[in-house]
Amino acid sequence: MRGFFLRLLITALGLWIADQLLPGIEFTSTSALVISALLLGIVNAVIRPIILILTLPLTVLTLGLFILVVNGISLKIVDWLVPGFVVSSLSSAVVGAIIVGLTSWAASHFIGGSGRIERMQRVEVTGRRIDG
């Protein structure tokens, strides 16, 4: 449960950063930001896989770059569902989805699936050869 709330906060942070960096994405309130983060998680879990399957030929043809557009469509769906969240165009949605994705990717290096903060361990490799 703690991991869920942490992921929700990370998504909300990514949406807030996108709001600050892009003129085409705006929130009218903090509650709209949190609701948008929650709905973005639901849309990415339920609707996005269906869109990915339907657009698979186009994704293969563009060598995977169309997934960026699919992510933008997911953000635009959340814009349609949440009254206090405004995404002015699909290009703003695509760039906003990239920002949210990069934020989530960076945070996932420090946070495990259970929501615990993990630290990286350094592993030393010796130059010894082991003969069998």
Q: Which residue has the tokens 């990069």?
A: 102
Taking residues 75-87, report their average pLDDT: 94
pTM: 0.80
Taking residues 73-94, report their average pLDDT: 93
Encoding tokens for residue 127?
């130059």
Q: What is the pLDDT of residues 49-75, one digit of tens each?
A: 999 999 999 999 999 999 999 999 999
**What is the average pLDDT score of the chain?**
87
The answer on pLDDT for 34 being more than 60 is yes
Per-residue CA distances from 58 to 44, 46, 51, 61, 101 (Å): 19, 20, 11, 5, 21
Residue 86 has what DSSP assignment? E
